Chains A and B, each alone.
Chain A
Amino acid sequence: MKIFTIAESINIMSKTIGPAIREKNKGPIQKMAEEELAAGADMLDLNLGPARKAGDEMMRWLVETVQEVKKDVRLALDTTNTAAVEAGLQVCNERALINSISAQPQSMQERLPLVKKYDADFVALTMSEEGIPRDSSERAVALTTIMAMGDELGIDHARYWVDPIVLPVSVDINQVKAYMEFLPMVKDILPGATNTCGLSNVSNGAPNELRPILNRVYLMMLYHLGQESAIVDSYDVEMMAICRGERMDQVEYVGKLLNGEDVQPTNDTEKMLYKTFKVLNGDVLYSHSWLED
């Protein structure tokens, strides 16, 4: 097992990183990049948010700053400012990942040409003009919309990292299930593409100290359904170990549950996996006390 990990922590919303980016203070950013890489991250996400003011300059500086830590680091350029994305693409040493392009016309029209021009990878976010998809069919519609324009531009399907959009279990279990239903379809709709996801959104709204458990178990479930990559918290040591394939006993146990085998837990770890699996699979209604229930 190997899940390609994109580390999520270099984010302008962060209390340490935000000011460092704005003040062009390399120290905290390079330190975090080193830590993420040391933790085993395969790619680093550089999240500038909307970056309305001087976003291009900011992204260029940020890419160069992080590349000073590791020349051939792989980077995801994560901002809604397209000029900033392009500025980043111009200075990336390795093939960059544009995060993201949705099926909204403006997003496709502005950004798909950049994929072609810079031979970049991109996150194909299955969101359309109507917003968040309600089920697996709407996810498929959004993906084929992106694909139609991508094909016109002659974009290789290998450039696509399809993101079926992870949504919180505490909000709507049907969305958690719709993701799992859609994920295996991706390779049929778009052979040759890979996938990724903003994993930690599954635990949004859950008590902070329990969020990693939901994130980890969901990833184990998604792995069995074909998940190849995820944007994760690289400071979650257990998560990184799972992604490296070092928790195969747990991953296999979850796989059996996903197969419909009701394998009763025999120890505390399995008990935690079992209960968490049950809420994420929609067998038991989620509540903040799901582990004690």
Chain B
Amino acid sequence: MAFEFPKDKYNGKIVEVTIGAGDKARTVGGETAMPLCNFEGEFPNRPLVAMEVYDRAEVCETWAPACKAPFADVMGDAVAWAKKCVEEFGAEAICLQLASTDPNGMNTSADEAAELTKKVAEAIPVPLIVWGCENDEKDAETLSKVAEVCAGMNLVIGPAKEGNYKKIGGAAIGYDHVVVQQTPIDVNMAKQLNILLNNLGVPMTKILMDPQMGALGYGIEYCYTVMERDRLTGLKQGDEKMQSPLILDVGKYTWKTKEASVSVDEEPAWGEAEVRGVLWETVSAVDVLAAGADILILRHPDSVRILKKIIDELMA
């Protein structure tokens, strides 16, 4: 008797979510099996590799030199930075970080952020993800304004959390955008926020889920198991509230760690800083890719290049 490879059976499918409009539109999700188990199900859409772009140079002051160098000529000009990421570094989407809107920082205005967002969105041929400063109140204000100014562009806006999902979700419905909902590494809370967004009127086809993560060395194993449970619930239990594509900002979580960013002078035994940081980011990204990430946001161009190659091989 011929050997038959054992296969798991699934009862659900990750929702296909289209981000961007017109020629810029890309679709993520649609998987019918656990991550990378191509032999068990359909994987109609490749995981998307996005790159971070920050709204102001000042908010990048503390960055590791390895991360500043590739963008030295464009920092402070988000439009040029975004174009460079797409044209030179192969970014498949851009994540515009509106970090300067933070009321505890530069506190730039929602209007200013919305104007900048529109310029960036118009300048690039790929979908745009717009990330707030992670202050509930300010993000509600900023992202509502962004949604309005960029009406119909089908941007991704977020993160929407328990404290501001009504305003951000409402703006997404009103001006036709996709929402990233974010919960602190917790399956039950992730489900609850999807229920609340659905009740508000945001359909599953307009929601991405950010389960949050810690980088390699900072609890990534736990994050992995939470993402795995997200997926098992959606695919094995067929829980319709848990079938959102997953989006993770790997760059932000990685480069704030000491291991990724400290100089070789400070830690001679750790080896050259740039290689180390890129590896740290890439390995963290591969981890969450294996756990089910549909959109990965990275910072360093080399990490993007390596990760895209890995995805090519895994999806082949």
Taking Cβ atoms with an 8 Å cutoff, the residues of A that contact B are 170, 283-289, 292-293
The complex places the Cα of A120 from the Cα of B189 at a distance, in Å, of: 43
A289 partner residues in chain B, CB cutoff 8 A = 192, 195-196, 199
Residues of A within 8 A of B182 (CB): none
Question: Which of A170, A283, A288, A293 lies in contact with B241, CB distance below 8 A?
Answer: A293
Task: Return the contact of A283 from the options B187, B196, B237, B242 (Cβ within 8 A).
Answer: B237
CB of B254 closer than 8 Å to a CB of A: no
Known contacts A284-B237, A285-B237, A285-B239, A170 near B188 by CB under 8 Å? yes
Report the separation of the CA atoms of residues A170 and B196 in the bound assembly, to the nearest whole angstrom.
Answer: 17
A285-B191 Cα distance, complex, nearest whole Å: 8
Minimum C-beta distance from B65 to chain A (A): 42
A230 CB, min distance to chain B CBs, angstroms: 24
Does B233 have its Cβ within 8 Å of any Cβ on chain A? yes
Chain B residue total in the interface (Cβ 8 A): 13
The interface residues of chain B lying within 8 Å CB-to-CB of A286 are 188, 191
Q: Closest chain A residue to B194 by CB distance? A: A287
Interface residues of B in 196-216 (CB under 8 A from A): 196, 199
Q: How far is the CA of A289 from the CA of B197 in the complex (A)?
A: 12
Q: Closest Cβ of chain B: how far from A178's Cβ, in Å? A: 16
Given A170-B188, A292-B195; A287-B241 close (CB under 8 Å): yes
Contact, CB under 8 Å: A293 / B237:
no
* Contact across chains for B191 and A287 when beta carbons are under 8 A apart: yes
For residue A292, which residues in chain B have a CB less than 8 angstroms away from its CB? 195
Select the residue from A285, A288, A289 with max chain B CB neighbours within 10 A. A285
* A50 to B7 CA separation, bound complex (whole angstroms): 53
Chain B residues closer than 8 Å to A287, beta-carbon distance:
188-189, 191-192, 195, 241
Q: List 10 additional contacts besides A285-B187, A288-B188, A289-B199; criterion CB under 8 Å.
A: A170-B188, A284-B239, A285-B191, A285-B237, A285-B239, A286-B191, A287-B189, A287-B195, A289-B196, A293-B241
Distance in Å from the Cβ of A277 to the closest Cβ of chain B? 15
A289 to B162, CA, bound (A): 14
Q: Which of B196, B199, B233 contacts A285 (CB 8 A)?
A: B233
Closest Cβ–Cβ distance, residue A167 to chain B (whole Å): 13
Q: Is the CB of A285 within 8 A of B195?
A: no
Can you pick out 8 interface pairs between chain A and chain B where the beta carbons lie within 8 Å of each other?
Answer: A283-B237, A284-B237, A285-B188, A287-B188, A288-B188, A289-B192, A289-B195, A293-B241
Residues of A within 8 A of B188 (CB): 170, 285-288
Q: Which 9 A-B pairs have the closest CB atoms?
A: A287-B192, A287-B191, A289-B195, A285-B233, A288-B192, A286-B188, A285-B191, A170-B188, A285-B239
Assembled-state Cα–Cα distance A284/B11 (Å): 13
Q: Give chain A residues whose Cβ lies under 8 Å from the Cβ of B187.
A: 285
Chain B nearest CB from A86 CB (Å) reads 42
List chain B residues, Cβ under 8 A from A293: 195, 241
Measured between beta carbons, the chain B residues less than 8 angstroms from A170 are 188
Nearest residue, chain B, Cβ from A292:
B195
In the assembled complex, the Cα of A283 lies from the Cα of B11 at a distance in Å of 13
CA distance A283 to B233 in the complex (A): 9
Bound CA span A170–B241, Å: 16
Give the Cβ gap from B231 to chain A, nearest Cβ, in Å.
12
With CB as the reference atom, state the residue of chain B lying closest to A171. B188
Query: In this complex, what residue of B is CB-closest to A279?
Result: B188
Please give, as numbers and ranges, the residues of chain B lying within 8 Å of A285 by CB-CB distance. 187-188, 191, 233, 237, 239, 241-242
Closest Cβ of chain B to A96, distance in Å, is 38
